[in-house]
Structure 1
Amino acid sequence: MALASRPLGRRERNKQEKLDRITAAATELFAEHGVDEVTTQQIAEKADIGTGTLFLYARTKGELLLMVQNARYEAALKRGRADAAAAPNVLEAVLAVVRPIVECNRMQVENGRTYLREIVFGDPDEPHHGEAMSIVVETEEIIADVVRRDGRFGERGAPTVARLVSSVIFFSMSINVNAPLNAEEILEDIRRQLAVVLHP
């Protein structure tokens, strides 16, 4: 029997079940109150586990937020990639990739902004941080593929343009002056900046 096809043992099932409860509890509490207003004790109580057990899965509230948001951002990126295929030009295709990410970030503004801070300043050895960085890299790869449709940038220029796009997205979603803006306003800010480089 191949390793991949073996059923999970009781211990692994228990660990997965606890992780699912922690994720569900953190997701609900962060969405309802915002990450700054929720304690790890509240998450542990809602997940029906001890705080010591919680810290086996995530050592800080920031790591819990990464765990919750990573799944959402992965889904947003998948949707953006699909939407980009039907866009009429490179600028619109890049914006199609970006739109679900911005919408995800703005579902709860402070959670979204805290998530971005955790990506930049979080513990690089923490697995949820590694997952978040993988999403950033994947986003840039998808954008580079889109940019390659435009012959102006070439094979070597596309990743550089994708990194610039990534920086614009991050900056627009994280700066204090944009905190009150909704998803559409953030997208318009991003569009104005990207149009300088990706004008049709």
Structure 2
Amino acid sequence: MVERDTREHARREPASDDATAAPRGRPGRREKNKEDKLRRIKDVARELFVSKGFDDTTIRQIATRADVGLGTVFIYAATKRDLLFLIANEGLDEVASTAAASVDPEAALIDNLLGVFGPHYAFFARQPELSRLVLREMAFYDSGAQAGSFQKTREALIELLGTIVRHAAERREIATDEAPQFVGWTIFCIYQVELRRWLSDGTIDLESGLDRLRRALMLLIRGLGSGSGTTR
């Protein structure tokens, strides 16, 4: 209720210069000022979410610490959850691009999968406390300014996993009557569970986390069988 009231109050504030787009092709002081404010908002939000906790941090506190108006924060994020994913989305987009570029149609299925998941694990290991918050809040995250970007990145990952499975089936490394996209979705589910288990551990060891993920994935791959053309 407090956040809702705060947001309504912010809507009644006079529009700031941040809401006015800079002339096309002429980035100048106003554009740089907007970028600096966004950077401060994200830096402060990241710090407070970790130090105070997500539930105990308010958007007003973030705005005050970042030295911006409440209306400026709401330009970029409609809610605290939206703000959390504003922080995460940029990094996840970069990781997704790196993962997609690592796929080799001729490589073994497990090698391609670990080539995709390795950069994701490394990303979440950079700041485990914030990563735990992202994983906690991502359940049913389907509304807000940043939700579309997050959902697009997640769907792209699942599609990529399906493509990797299709490559393996075409090489007859595996044999299954299931659609590659469904197998890719199943692999994504294993990854999500293992990622949460790993991040919940007190010691975030990248090598051991990926080794356990590899074991879980190999169990699935063996269950898919080899190129006999039948499902086991």
Which bin holds the TM-score, normalised by the shorter protein?
0.7 to 0.9
Query: Post-superposition shift, 1:30?
Result: 5.9
Identity %: 24
Indicate the structure with greater helix content: 1
- Report the RMSD for the aligned CA atoms in angstroms: 3.4
Question: Structure 1 8/149 Cα, relative in aligned 2: closer, same or farther at 3 Å?
Answer: same
**Residue matched to 1:128:** 146
> SS at the partner of 1:85?
coil
Which runs of 5 or more residues in structure 2 are unaligned? 1-22, 227-232
Give the TM-score normalised by structure 2: 0.69
Give the TM-score normalised by structure 1: 0.78
**Residue matched to 1:167:** 189
2-structure distance, mates of 1:184, 1:31: 27
**Residue matched to 1:68:** 87
Query: Post-superposition shift, 1:61?
Result: 2.6
Larger Rg: 2
Match of 2:156 among 124, 138, 160: 138
Q: Which letter does structure 1 place at the counterpart of 2:188? A: S
Q: Conserved in 2, the CA contact under 8 Å of 1:31 and 1:108?
A: no
> SS at the partner of 2:25?
coil
Query: Post-superposition shift, 1:138?
Result: 0.6
Q: Which letter does structure 2 place at the counterpart of 1:89? A: A
Alignment of 1:48-127 (within 5 A): 48-85=67-104, 88-122=107-141, 124-127=142-145
**Residue matched to 1:193:** 216
Q: Conserved in 2, the CA contact under 8 Å of 1:172 and 1:178?
A: no
Question: Structure 1 177/17 Cα, relative in aligned 2: closer, same or farther at 3 Å?
Answer: closer
Q: Which stretch shows the higher mean deviation, 69-78 or 155-164?
A: 155-164
Query: Post-superposition shift, 1:125?
Result: 2.1
Is 1:40 the counterpart of 2:55 in the alignment? no
Q: Which letter does structure 1 place at the counterpart of 2:153? A: I
Q: Conserved in 2, the CA contact under 8 Å of 1:30 and 1:111?
A: no
Deviation per CA, 1:61-112, whole angstroms, max 9, x where unpaired? 3221100111111111111222233984111111110111111112222211
Q: Which letter does structure 2 place at the counterpart of 1:170? A: Q
Q: Which stretch shows the higher mean deviation, 134-143 or 56-65?
A: 56-65
Q: Conserved in 1, the CA contact under 8 Å of 2:103 and 2:116?
A: yes
Q: Conserved in 2, the CA contact under 8 Å of 1:22 and 1:43?
A: yes
1-structure distance, mates of 2:36, 2:90: 17
